[in-house]
Amino acid sequence: MTTNENDDRSARSAGILLHPTSLPGPYGIGDFGESAYAWIEALARAGQSWWQVLPLGPTGYGDSPYQLFSAFAGNTNLISPDNLVQEGLINRGQIEGVRLRPERVDYGAVVEFKRALLMEAWQGFKAGRAPFLRPQFETFCAEQAAWLDDFALFIALKDAQEGRSWQDWPEELVLRRPEALVRARRELEDVINHHRFAQFLFYRQWGSLKNYANARGIKLIGDIPIFVAGDSADVWANPRLFLLDERRRPKFVAGVPPDYFSATGQLWGNPLYNWSALKETRYAWWVARFRATLAQVDLVRLDHFRGFQAYWQIPAGMPTAEVGDWVEAPGADLLATLRAELGSLPIIAEDLGLITPEVYALRDQFGLPGMRILQFAFGGAAEDRFLPHNYIHHTVVYTGTHDNDTTLGWYAAITDRERRHLHEYVGCDHCRDVAWDLIRLAWASVADFALAPLQDVLSLGPEARMNTPGRAGGNWAWRFTSDMLEGQRLDRLGHLTRLYAR
């Protein structure tokens, strides 16, 4: 993804960050139904070019879209019940009267409701409902078999093992002994096919939504976390690609060392890649992962980009991230291989944190745009690179991200000195709506891409924060309601978008 600095800047564009779980609706969580299509229409009316989402995979512990049971599978909690009715897989009576919490995602209630509903859809499909879907389902299973078969077996076994992590399953399953897998596939055949069918429904509904968005001039930005969860089908099915011991437990885990954000660093706990083994396959797993993601979105934010140049390796069992080593990663070889296989690199490099010249060199070698966060320009550990007058064109600017507080929440927490700096920079004695002051700075900047979380467009406070890093629970639950889009805010955003030629 390269840019000629002498072009006519026609690449300037804008968009909104909103995860589908935050969409409105009666079923306890946003989904791919009517409200998603209405959201796309709202984006189009506001003149936006991009809808950015978080990872779309199946969430596990903590409900985080960055700790997934699979790097390939979809989150079936996002499947629309109304669409299942329209396709004839369930009856309207099975969802009439369902009214789960509208303003927050209650994951426990949602998981129970969606699990039962998808089982009803599977039973109906087996009984002959929606027969037009059968050839499509069979084609999907054949085309996606490389990841789908292992994932469906993994989830079926996890259900049978009462949700335990796969490292705590019987040894024959942990080590994937062939006879044990054959027996499990035979005994769990119907459950496995049910999970295949649920994935088919996810891919079908999301694919229709993406096609609709693209037809309305809206492109999608997705997200690839650099690491995968230890309790995932990816690690269980591909142990050689990770640094595991003979019991299939991590030898080392991921994180970042102490810095000005944390005196003990951040201990993420994900298993680290066996880059030598990946290189022997010409990074086939990574190529397949990118292909799968780019079938769902048009552009990818590559999380923790600095880890593709060098990553912090922490011995397993350490209580914090203080003890570890920087280990070089084959980022240039991986990206060159991806470019050769994919034909291009539609990637945004998430180059936040303590970044070295080597990381910038890797990013620039492949012409990838980096990220600039306006909150980081004025509050906390402020850095000059985040001030708009220091931007280059080939950059993506955000008011904040899913890990930041909303701009109103952030503004209330910064110091008086930081607030005065912001006022002076913006040119106001008192910012009446600081979220929109930052939106204007982003949209007016030279950055090719400008994005804001919907919470900032709506001028919401800290109650609407999506994630607080380091907090174990209570994250990823915010939702908006349809009435919040009423009024002039989207018209105002459309005006700024036209004013600044985005």
Residue with the two structure tokens 């409105």? 24
CA angle 106, 108, 112 (to 5 degrees): 120
Alpha-helical segments (H) within 322-459: 331-342, 357-365, 375-378, 407-413, 416-426, 434-444, 454-457
**Which two three-digit tokens encode residue 484?**
């919040």
Composition of the chain by helix, strand, coil, percent to 5: 45, 15, 40
- Helix crossing, 416-426 with 434-444: angle to 10°? 50
- Could you give the CA distance from residue 338 to residue 324 in angstroms, rounded to a whole number? 29
- Could you give the CA distance from residue 47 to residue 41 in angstroms, rounded to a whole number? 10
DSSP 8-class letter at 345: -
- Could you give the CA distance from residue 108 to residue 104 in angstroms, rounded to a whole number? 12
The residues assigned a catalytic role are 303, 350, 403
**Which two three-digit tokens encode residue 290?**
């990118």
Q: Which residues make beta-bridge pairs with 301?
A: 223, 348
Q: Residue 395: phi, psi to the nearest 5?
A: -145, 155
- Could you give the CA distance from residue 44 to residue 283 in angstroms, rounded to a whole number? 38
- Contacts of residue 148, Cβ cutoff 8 Å, sequence gap at least 6: 72, 73, 140, 141, 196, 199
- Could you give the CA distance from residue 413 to residue 379 in angstroms, rounded to a whole number? 9
Residues 447 and 391 sit within 8 Å (Cβ to Cβ): yes
3-state secondary structure (DSSP) of residue 49: coil
User: Letter for the amino acid at 247?
Assistant: R
Instruction: Provide the greatest CA pair distance for the chain.
Output: 73
Alpha-helical segments (H) within 161-262: 171-174, 178-187, 189-215, 233-237
**Which two three-digit tokens encode residue 143?**
């085309």
Sign of CA dihedral 66, 73, 77, 155: negative
**Which two three-digit tokens encode residue 142?**
């054949």
